[in-house]
Chain A
Amino acid sequence: MPSTSKIVVQDLWKDFGDPRKSGRSVGGSGKATVPVLENINLEVPEGELVCIVGPSGCGKSTLLNIIAGFIKATSGQVLIDGAQVTSPDMKRVFIFQENGVFPWLTIEENVGFGLLDKPPKVRQPVVTHYIEMVGLTGFEKAYPREISGGMKQRVEIARALAANPDILYMDEPFGALDFLTRLRMRAELVQIWQREKKTILFVTHDVEESVQLADRVVVMSQRPATIATVIDVNLPRPRDLDSPEYLSIRDEIFEVMGLDYSGQSSSSSSAKTPTPAVAVGLLSSPTQPKRLDAEVIIIGGGPAGAVLGNYLGCAGIDHFIIDKTHHPRSHVGESLSYSANRILKEIDFLPVMERERFIAKGGVSWTSWYDEEQTDLEFRGLGDFGHAYQVDRARFDDLLLKHAYEHGARMFSGALVERINFNRQGKATGVTVKIGGARIALKSRIVVDASGQDAILGRQLKLEKRRANFPELALHSWFSGVDRGKSSTAHFTHIHLLRIGRGWAWQIPINDEVTSVGVVTDREHFVKSGENVNQFFKWTMELNPTLAERMKNATQLREFRMDGTSNYIMDSFAGNGWLLLGDAAFFLDPVFSSGISAAIHSAKFAAEAIFQALVANDISEQSLSRYDEMLRPGIMVWHDLVRLFYEFAPIFSRVIADSEHRVSMQRLCEGDIFDPAAQHTLTILQDALQAIRTVPDSPLHKSLRAAVI
């Protein structure tokens, strides 16, 4: 076939045999293959400088290696001057991304490497000439380890030119250099090319670089790569990087690559692959291990982040979860509320809860200081689930995160988020994480802060928050030998009201042996008492006769943990490209165990909002504020519910137990705060409680006025 082109690529296809991927078996051999290049056709006339640009990992390097003869194509052929390429040749020199300069030779020995068959008399002037051309005169006797990366790359170019080839193949040769050196090397390359009139095929992932260098830019698509388009760059050299022509060509290429990108994201749902075990601090991804961008970045691998990860994974939305700790942690919130079941069911986690034998929580029992009665609010009759769960949070959080991982989350564990990055328009564009000693920038379209009370984003943006006036001290530990009361309610969560202004204690069974006991009260009680933590805890146990009895033979199993539970609700839960989840958005008193329930509900709403935003391709503040609208009313209901509890603590549970609206009130207390009827139920409860205050002869009235310290 007569052709005037120097390089002709015809119908080139390339598959990689990859036994690890069993999904896409081709043929009957049983050996699976992955298509890398599909039907590549390309012609390069002599003396032209052509750039091949495409997303990282698309296969453009493979294409160049095939053209150079280092790798064999699966089908199709490459012709140079009309002859088929079967192996590399000295007439066509390859310049490598990772620098192929030989470290055991001096600079001049390296440059002369292609001329070894020539006598020194011929070789020496050529070597001197090219060393001078790349500006390395004086470094002839130096070794590569003694010069900089940019100089090494120039040695490699000199070595290539000294061999007097027709063609230079360059595979991201400036990729490892710093920005300024890169700019200078580009300018030098263009000068050398103009002087030497070689044909150059230059591979890069940098669109700017391709437009600065090339006569023509070949734009490749995502893997399996095809040629998306070829764009002529008819601009005079040296090129003006601010000229409208330059910018419009650049943007044209970006557009071609960008369109392709969005197509990729929608197809990723079908290609979801379970990933191997997480290594600490390693970015794990089955297909593209080094891709540092995702649709969504979730900061924090607690329940909120993990549940969101589960939802996104199921929807096939590519996301990172960045978790600062990979150690078990103790945490307030060991009792899951009834409404949490619904979310756990949606993400298919209830089988795990059963398999792991978490204790079934059949209800909540309440005791008071002024009598020895126990009010039992059972879950039976509430709806679809017979029970909720008591959990050891370290284990529960860990399992939930693993579940997210199995659904396709890409994980960074042991990584600390330093800051959330924003662009000039104020849109969140990703995060900078510190992992080991290194800093890595991760990019995403949406950043979700689920960092718990660290509230990383809230702090960075100095978001305003509304503080709620609830007790702010939680003191808790694990015990053995706690008497759990009558056997029918032994696995319930027990709330013991204390004879103190505002204060109550929880008793939560963790397993057959261990019971978690904690006190929540105003900080000032502790400060005024002047006692140490042990004495204070012991004293509070005596403030309820039932509790005192139960703790009589208890042995403490681990150190006390004191949490300052500041109560707050952020003024905005969503902004331009970001969302706040769980404790990063709000924290309220743990009396109804709603913290974790609200956190995972917030994850569900976030998943909905993200999904809609991505589908509509609108991630503006306005679009994401949908999330705020879904979440906030429920959080306000919860706030009012806790306020009612503290106002009417002595009679709170008894009014519910006696009410004809008992079921809906119980559901409210169990976290159904996002239900449309929640506000209504809250009003009924409030009225019922108020009624007791205004009717002095009602039996509960006396209890309301029971003396406290």
Chain B
Amino acid sequence: MKSRYQPIILPLIVGGVFILFWQTAVVLSGSQIFPKPSQVFWGLIELTRKGVLFRYIVASLFRVSSGFLLALLVGIPLGLLLGWFGRAFDAFNPAIQILRPISPIAWIPVAILWFGVSDLAPIFLIFLASLFPITTSAIAAVQNIPLVHLRAARNFGVKGSTLFKKIVFPATLPQIITGVRLALGVAWLVVVAAEMIAVNSGLGYLIIDARNAGMRYDLVVAGMMLIGLIGLVLDFLVRRLERLDEVRWGFNR
């Protein structure tokens, strides 16, 4: 029988086995540079003591949330409009499809040129990276609204802004949330890459700095693990949105 704790216990076991494997592999290989799990742990403690860990996390989260919120504010209305008005879609979709496959990383030089070495450059990159998944999911969501819902609304005389508020927005919300979840994952990927180059704080900066200043691979790996854990938490939070009554119908769970 499936226990209530199974989704917690099984991953913990896998994690334990992984750490054991890691420890053994480092010991057997005799590597002096690659850290053991314990060294990573002490590295984390060291960072906390110095007071940089918390500061770096906040810096990274600040950049992500600014860029990401901006993308939400622009992307959702833009996607809804483009999905609804066929002519606008025809006009703008090719441009979107051209910009979409360009990796945010490729924008780094442009971002530095425009915004210099400041917080604005990574925020811009995150905005760009999350804008496309949000916009395209909103476009697709509008285009996928079942005809029967639109006809029912029309039948009851609903049109204009009421139609958007009462039908289009709620009908598209589940798919938009899926896009938002995707976008947040991408944004978190990008913040780390952006911080490796343009700024002097944040988790990405921690990694590249630890390597450059004295081959501190214990801190490199500690940074990596933090990034992963925070990503997990972010995804968990967005998933909570999927459980809201207004959107649960869109997720077969």
Interface residues of A (CB under 8 A from B): 68, 70, 87-90, 92-94, 96, 98-100, 102-105, 113-114, 116, 143-145, 163
Contacts and interface: CB of A to CB of B under 8 A. Distances in A.
Interface residues of B, number: 22
Contacts of B72: none
Contacts of B149: 100, 102
Contact of A104 (B148, B154, B171): B171
Contact of B148 (A87, A92, A99): A99
Given A90-B157, A163-B156, A104 B151 contact: no
B90 interface: no
B146 A98 contact: yes
Given A98-B148, A99-B148, A104-B170, A114 B156 contact: yes
Nearest to B246: A104
B151 A94 contact: yes
A68 B148 CA distance: 13
Contacts of B166: 116
B156 A144 contact: no
A90 B156 contact: yes
A142 to B, nearest CB: 10
Contacts of A94: 151-152, 155
Contact of B247 (A96, A99, A104, A114): A104
A87 B154 CA distance: 9
A145 B248 contact: yes
A143 B148 contact: no
B191 interface: no
14 contacts: A70-B154, A88-B151, A88-B155, A92-B155, A93-B156, A96-B148, A98-B146, A98-B148, A100-B152, A102-B171, A103-B250, A104-B171, A116-B162, A143-B248
Contacts of B155: 68, 88-90, 92-94
A158 to B, nearest CB: 13
Given A98-B146, A163-B156, A143 B249 contact: yes
Interface string B141-174: 0000010110110111110001000110011010
A92 B249 CA distance: 28
Nearest to B158: A116
Given A90-B156, A96-B148, A102 B170 contact: yes
A143 B156 CA distance: 20
Given A88-B151, A90-B156, A116-B162, 20 more contacts: A68-B155, A70-B154, A89-B155, A90-B157, A92-B155, A94-B151, A94-B155, A96-B148, A96-B152, A99-B148, A100-B149, A100-B151, A100-B152, A102-B149, A104-B170, A113-B152, A116-B156, A116-B166, A143-B248, A145-B248
Contact of A113 (B148, B156, B249): B156
Contacts of B148: 96, 98-100
A165 to B, nearest CB: 9
Contacts of A114: 156
Contacts of B157: 89-90
A594 B248 CA distance: 64
A100 B148 CA distance: 5
Interface in B206-253: 245-250
Nearest to B151: A70
Nearest to A106: B245
B246 to A, nearest CB: 5
A68 B152 CA distance: 11
Interface of B: 146, 148-149, 151-152, 154-158, 162, 166-167, 170-171, 173, 245-250
Nearest to B157: A90
Contacts of A100: 148-149, 151-152
A98 B147 CA distance: 10
Nearest to B169: A104
B242 to A, nearest CB: 13
A122 to B, nearest CB: 16
Contacts of A144: 249
A100 B146 CA distance: 9
B96 to A, nearest CB: 27
A96 B151 contact: yes
Q: Which of B152, B170, B171, B247 has the most CB of A within 10 A?
A: B152
A18 B178 CA distance: 35
A439 B24 CA distance: 54
Contacts of A68: 155
A537 B156 CA distance: 80
B80 to A, nearest CB: 15
Contacts of B152: 94, 96, 100, 102, 113
A369 to B, nearest CB: 68
Contacts of A102: 149, 152, 167, 170-171
A222 B149 CA distance: 29
A163 B151 CA distance: 15
A701 B114 CA distance: 106
A375 B148 CA distance: 76
B153 to A, nearest CB: 8
A264 B149 CA distance: 35
B156 A104 contact: no
A100 B171 CA distance: 12
Q: Which of A92, A98, A100, A114 has the most CB of B within 10 A?
A: A100
Contacts of A87: 154
Give the most central of A68, A87, A103: most B CB within 10 Å. Answer: A103
Nearest to B174: A104
A99 B250 CA distance: 16
Contacts of B248: 143, 145
Given A88-B154, A88-B155, A114-B156, A104 B173 contact: yes
Contacts of A96: 148, 151-152
Nearest to A99: B148
Contacts of A145: 248-249
A421 to B, nearest CB: 34
The 4 closest A-B pairs by CB, nearest first: A103-B249, A100-B152, A104-B170, A100-B148
Contacts of A99: 148
A101 to B, nearest CB: 8
A243 B50 CA distance: 92
Nearest to B152: A100
A69 B171 CA distance: 23
Nearest to A101: B152
A93 B152 CA distance: 8
A114 B173 CA distance: 22
Contacts of A103: 249-250
A104 B141 CA distance: 14
B245 A143 contact: yes
A102 B171 CA distance: 8
Nearest to A70: B151
A103 B249 CA distance: 6
A635 B100 CA distance: 68
A160 to B, nearest CB: 9
A163 B152 CA distance: 12
B177 to A, nearest CB: 12
A96 B156 CA distance: 14
Nearest to A160: B155
A162 to B, nearest CB: 10
A77 B167 CA distance: 30
Best-buried of A104, A116, A163 by chain B (most CB within 10 Å): A104
